[in-house]
Structures are given as structure tokens and as C-alpha cells.
Structure 1
């Protein structure tokens, strides 16, 4: 088993905590003051890892810490082998597909389709277009969403407009590496693999999700300019070109992170995470 001497692992722990505190501390301060943030709250509400858990450092499977806590990694792996196998299958299937870049962020527009300003989820913030103009754009551009956890937040009238009908059962079949939400979810799969993967990888995936979420909401129908998020106007050709360029850049950033997670799983003891797994992700999250 690898052994980390105490100065080394304590330095890594401190560096990890300092890094994630740049995201955690402002979130906790907003929460203490009762200030909602329509962009960044998503990272701590839709995703289930609590700030204290994100801050907790672990070195990955099988690493012993000199004068440190002793973790029973083998027991964790044995308990979660089915879930680990499912995650690997999803990551590998996603990585093996060509990215699709023609959605233009219409998933966020489908979430407010045919709703009034009072009905939309982030109704403290105005829509950039009128409800009728918003609906017209969705109908004109169409919706090409492959990600179930975005699709399930569509309004009822918007669902039939999607060229796909994603489901939890089809997630491994449909997920593709151009999707903003699939690339944000690299963070989810990283933390669900903790403590079997090192915390630095989880933090790298969080950093990616943080940046993607900004684009996700800048391209949304909400006007968040006063909050410091100037719109990417996907209702225009120029805005759609900007969206695709950033979407491609995020896909490139996600690619090595996905590969690192697959490699970390493959480095686990043989046979522990090789059984075919069922989907460990019940559709219970209701916060966006």
C-alpha cells in the first residue's frame, strides 16, 4: 500500500481545503444571510455533496497516511461495487461518442416554456424575452436535449418538442460529451466515487461544473446581467456561435477528467468493480 508521510498529506489536505473554500465560503455566507443565487446555489443544492463533505480531503483508494486516520477502503468498495461499475459504464459510453453541439442551450428555455413570469422557477429574475417570444424561440429552434436530468425539468408542453425522450433507463445509451449537463455531472460521478478517488480530482471536476453552470445560465432565458452574468444571446446567430464555441471548450476540459475517473476505477482491485451495475441514480432531485 502506498504510504504518504505526514508533512506531504497534511500539505495536500491544506491545499485542497484552501482551494474549495474559495467556492464554499461565499456560498455559506449567502446562505447565512438568506440570499439566493440562481446560478451558484445549483452546485450545492442540485448536487448532493454538502460543503463540509467537499472540504474533506481523502487521498484515494489504498493510500495509507502516516499518523493519520485509517480508512477501510476495501469495505467501501465492496459495498459500492455495483454503483462503481455503473458509473464506469456511463463514463466510458459517454467518452466513446462524438459530441453533439446543436442544442444551443434550449433545454433551459424548455424549462420555462409556456409559463408566466410568476410560474418560472427563478421568478425573482426577469426573462429576457416575453413568455410568447420565449415560446416562439423554442418552437422555432427545436429542442435536442439528450440529458435526462435536464429533460425531466421541462414543462409538460415542452416535452413533446424534444427530438429525444430521455429516461433514466436510457441514460447510458444517450449521454454524450458535448452536453453541458453531462460535463457538469463529471463532478457528481467524482464525488460519488469518493473516497475511492482523490479529492483533488473531485475539486477539479467541481471547478469545471462551476464554470459550465455560468454558461448554462448566461444562455438561459433569464436576464442575470445585474448579477454579473451577461447573456449569451442564443436567440441570435452570433449568440449561438458563441455558445457552441464555449460548449466545445468545456467538452475538451471534461474529456481528461472523465478519463482520469475511468482510470481510477480501473486501478481498483481486480474484480471489485467489474460486475454489471444497475442505475444507482433515482430521479428524486427537484431543485434546479
Structure 2
């Protein structure tokens, strides 16, 4: 009862944020996203097909993003109402109410279940110690082709910087230590039994860990999945981390990224360089993961307590 009354008091005290305050934030968000992508979201999406640093944003995370323009749209934290008119809607995420806020109670059960899974993944990743010796070899395992095996599928439209013999040697030289199922599931069939972990979707949360570049890319997925019930600045932060992680991911792969110096994980010096850069991505991702978890908790609290607060208000009026 006390907690519900406190939430009710907070709701009564909250003021609608005037347009003069939120519009500059929306403009800064769009400018930041445009700078990170190198172009406005729509333009970047059109260019992304052959760009390995962008294609995962608009393709791999496309189902969570929806329209490309959404990446540049603004939204306030959950429970914050803003002054907005019909003319403002093009710069805002869809679904804003006439009251100037987004209603968390209107989400379908399927979407709520996806948010629950997302929060569980974030929490599981945060609590596990980082693993520094995977060296990004998941991309190598995807291209593994021992003698007699069929030609492996290339997941990027890029030339290779090493030959097939080198790829095979790297994969066969040591146990692979991939912990991320959505990378493992693209391994060449002949490489799956070379991984330390037999990963499955059902056991995904048992292995996620915060040094994994794919786990840190997925911060963007979980930020987009929570929108519009998350501060847009957090979407920008997640995009920034995801691009840093993807840059390391592709540099450490057997692919040749034009204009970029590779991280040659087939060498001892390259592996040391990978760990150094991996640690930098980990350090950038950690506070974003913490803030995302807090945003998820704020959402579920609002979803659970706002109806109760209104019911409590009705009782007080009576």
C-alpha cells in the first residue's frame, strides 16, 4: 500500500515535459545516430547491404528495429509525458497517446514475454565473469572446410584475407571457446564439435558472458526491443557499443575489410591485440548494460503499478 501510494504521488507530481525541452534532445539524438552510422538512418540502411559494419544493424536486428527511420526517432523514459502535437509524431516512436506518454499496459503478452527474456539475458550476462581467450574465432569456425567437406557459406560479401588452409589450421589448432549461441549456430557443421560448449537456445543464458563481442552487440537488440519505453539516449549508447563490437568482430575475422587494419588472431601478437580491444568494448558496454537493466526494471514496475495506482486513486476519491 505504501509503495503504491508513493507511485501515485510521483504520478501526480510529474509534469508534462514542454516541447522546448524535449525537441533539442530529439535533435541531438538524431544527429548522434547519423554521425555513428555515417548517414541518416534511411540512407545508411540503403547502403548497408554490402557494409558489414552496418548490415547487422538493419538486417540482423531488423525485426527489433522495424523501419530504419526508427533508429533516429526519440522517446522519453517510461512514465514521462511530453507536450506533443500531430506535427511532432514523425520524430517520435510510434504509439504515443494523446496524453503525451506511452502506455506500457497496451503491450501484448507476446511482447511482454520477449521483454522478460531480454531482461533475463542482460542479468545473466552481467553476473558472469568475462572470458578473454575466445579470440573471435566464431567467424573462422563458420568458414571451416576440412578436406572433402562442401564449400562453406560465406556470411559476408567480402574477399578473404587468408586462404582456406590457414582457416583450417586456426580452427584445428586449439579448442574454440565461443559462448554465444547466435554465433555458434552459424558454425560450419564440421566445426561444431570443436567448440568447448555444446550451445543451444535453451541453454543460452547459462553461457552468455560480458566480454563476448556478440553479447555486447546485442545491447542494441535489447534497447530496441524496449523502445519506446526507454530513454532514446540509451538507444544511442547501445548503438555506439554495438558498432565498436562489430568493428572488432569483422577485423578479427578471415575477411578483408577495406580500409581497416585487421586484427590477426592467427598470430600471438594478434591475439594480444584482440584481448586489448575486447577489454575496451567490455568496459564501454558494462555501464550501458547496467542502465538497460534499470530501464527494464522501470518498465516492469510501471507496467505492474500504474493500474494499481489508478485503482488506489479511485479508492481515495470515494
> Is this a same-fold pair by TM over 0.5?
yes
Residue 284 of structure 1 is matched in structure 2 by none
* Larger relative helix fraction: 2
Match of 1:203 among 232, 236, 241: 236
- Structure 1 position 150 matched with structure 2 position 183: yes
Residue 141 of structure 2 is matched in structure 1 by 110
| 1:144-182 C-alpha deviation (Å, 9 max, x unpaired) | 101000001111111111111111111111101110000
Residue 291 of structure 2 is matched in structure 1 by 260
Unpaired segments ≥5 residues, structure 1: 275-288
- Structure 1 position 11 matched with structure 2 position 24: yes
Q: 1:102, CA displacement in angstroms?
A: 0.7
**Structure 1 residues 1-288: aligned runs within 5 Å:** 1=11, 2=14, 3-22=16-35, 23=37, 25=39, 28-29=42-43, 32=46, 36-48=50-62, 49=65, 50-68=67-85, 69-70=96-97, 71-77=101-107, 79=109, 80-114=111-145, 119-121=152-154, 124-224=157-257, 227-268=258-299, 270=301, 272=303
- Pair 1:17–1:7, CA change in 2 (3 A): same
Unpaired segments ≥5 residues, structure 2: 1-10, 86-95, 306-318
Residue 6 of structure 2 is matched in structure 1 by none
Does the Cα contact within 8 Å between 1:77 and 1:273 map onto a contact in 2?
Answer: no
Find the aligned partners of 2:301 and 2:185 in 1 and give their Cα distance. Answer: 36
What is the aligned-residue RMSD (CA, Å)?
Answer: 2.5
- For normalisation by structure 2, the TM-score amounts to 0.78
Does the Cα contact within 8 Å between 1:60 and 1:194 map onto a contact in 2?
Answer: no
Q: 1:103, CA displacement in angstroms?
A: 0.5
- Pair 1:267–1:122, CA change in 2 (3 A): closer
Which of 166-175 and 262-271 deviates more?
262-271
**SS at 1:65's partner residue?**
coil
Does the Cα contact within 8 Å between 1:214 and 1:229 map onto a contact in 2?
Answer: no
- Pair 1:247–1:120, CA change in 2 (3 A): same
**SS at 2:301's partner residue?**
coil
Q: 1:36, CA displacement in angstroms?
A: 1.5
| Structure of larger gyration radius | 2
Q: 1:40, CA displacement in angstroms?
A: 2.3
Which of 29-38 and 236-245 deviates more?
29-38
Find the aligned partners of 2:48 and 2:211 in 1 and give their Cα distance. Answer: 35
Q: 1:83, CA displacement in angstroms?
A: 2.4
Q: 1:16, CA displacement in angstroms?
A: 0.9
Residue 277 of structure 1 is matched in structure 2 by none
**SS at 2:239's partner residue?**
helix
Does the Cα contact within 8 Å between 2:213 and 2:245 map onto a contact in 1?
Answer: yes
Residue 4 of structure 2 is matched in structure 1 by none
- For normalisation by structure 1, the TM-score amounts to 0.86
Find the aligned partners of 1:38 and 1:262 in 2 and give their Cα distance. Answer: 28
Larger RCO, structure (CA 8 Å, separation 6 or more): 1
